[in-house]
Amino acid sequence: MKSSATGIERIFPHTDATGQKQPEHARISMELRGLGKKFLVGAGEFQALKSIDLDVAVGEFVCVLGASGCGKTTLLRILGGLEKHTEGSLRFYQEKSGQPPTSIVFQEVSIFPWLSVWDNVAFGLRARHASKALIKERVSFYIEKVGLTPFRDHYPHQLSGGMKQRVSIARAFANDPEVLLLDEPFSALDERNKATLQDELLRIWEETGKTIVFVTHSIDEAIYLADRILVFAGPPGHITQIHRPDFVRPRNLTALRATPEYKRLVGAILEGLGISGEPSDAIE
């Protein structure tokens, strides 16, 4: 089945005609082949992404790491069906046809100011006409997971920046997508809030087994979170390196920073980003 609006192919279920799971598809959530994007700019074209080949496994935590302007948001918007790729193909292998393939958490706060925490988190489920019982169960579950139960009736103007981003995360999970897309979701937060939310995200990811694609420009954040780091350069955005930080979880960045493995990885990533010199976190 092909969605004409987004050019995304959605294939489900992961079973063949006899109901047997197809192992090769059961492990793949997303498949990108030669994916590219050209924007029309004035009378010309701007190539924002080029030749991206990638398979993302079900339940994998993938970080896309790259400098500003290299096409990370464009890639995420294409994966989220908000933008259409102009080259190559994009397929989602889904477990169930009734679920949305993706939900996005944006960098900037994108919750509705006129809705309470509860109604914001319930928004996607209501739009899909989910049953009242399911909405109640799912919304209360994820509001609890992000620690906002005492604030469920509050409105966004009564919340801090970190709490608003928690609402976005709860809303994205409550939608029950197969893949969660997060675009620098914590970059506007202070260090303490950022660390807390990273840990909450990891805990929910481990409990739900969702596939996650997380965009960041922070090397430390990518190493802390990811099963696999895709280093991006551009424009046109393309993958320059793939790393699998195999540090045991839960990871402790302070302890990791002292290890030769961590220093080697940061050095390699900096090279992939085209930056030399001492490891630093930000690549503005």
Structure tokens at 143: 């509001």
How many CA atoms lie less than 13 Å away from 172 in the CB half-sphere? Answer: 32
The CA distance from 27 to 56, in Å, is 8
Would you give the distance in Å from CA 199 to the centre of its chain? 15
What values do phi and psi take at 54, rounded to 5?
A: -165, 135
Residue 141 engages ligand ADP in binding (rule: CB under 6 A): no
Picked from ligand ADP, Mg ion, none, the partner binding residue 46 (CB below 5 to 8 A depending on kind) is: ligand ADP
Helix extents (H) in 146-231: 161-174, 191-208, 219-225
Of 71-79, 120-128, 187-195, 254-262, the window that binds Mg ion (rule: CB under 5 A) is 71-79
Number of residues that bind ligand ADP (CB under 6 A): 13
Subset of 232-251 contacting ligand ADP (CB under 6 A): 235
What is each CA distance from 23 to 14, 118, 263, in whole angstroms? 8, 38, 37
Residue 68 engages ligand ADP in binding (rule: CB under 6 A): yes
Residue 71 engages ligand ADP in binding (rule: CB under 6 A): yes
Least Å from the CB of residue 162 to ligand ADP: 22
Least Å from the CB of residue 284 to Mg ion: 12
Least Å from the CB of residue 247 to ligand ADP: 26
**Cβ 156 vs Cβ 113: under 8 Å:** yes
Of 69-77, 128-136, 139-147, 258-266, the window that binds ligand ADP (rule: CB under 6 A) is 69-77
Measured torsion, CA atoms of residues 220, 224, 230, 234, in degrees rounded to the nearest 10: -20
What values do phi and psi take at 241, rounded to 5?
A: -150, 155
Subset of 27-46 contacting ligand ADP (CB under 6 A): 39, 41, 46
Residue 120 engages Mg ion in binding (rule: CB under 5 A): no
Residue 73 engages Mg ion in binding (rule: CB under 5 A): yes
Residue 6 engages Mg ion in binding (rule: CB under 5 A): no
The CA distance from 73 to 149, in Å, is 31
Least Å from the CB of residue 277 to ligand ADP: 22
**Cβ 35 vs Cβ 49: under 8 Å:** yes
Picked from ligand ADP, Mg ion, none, the partner binding residue 235 (CB below 5 to 8 A depending on kind) is: ligand ADP
Q: Which residues lie near ligand ADP (CB under 6 A)?
A: 39, 41, 46, 48, 66, 68-74, 235
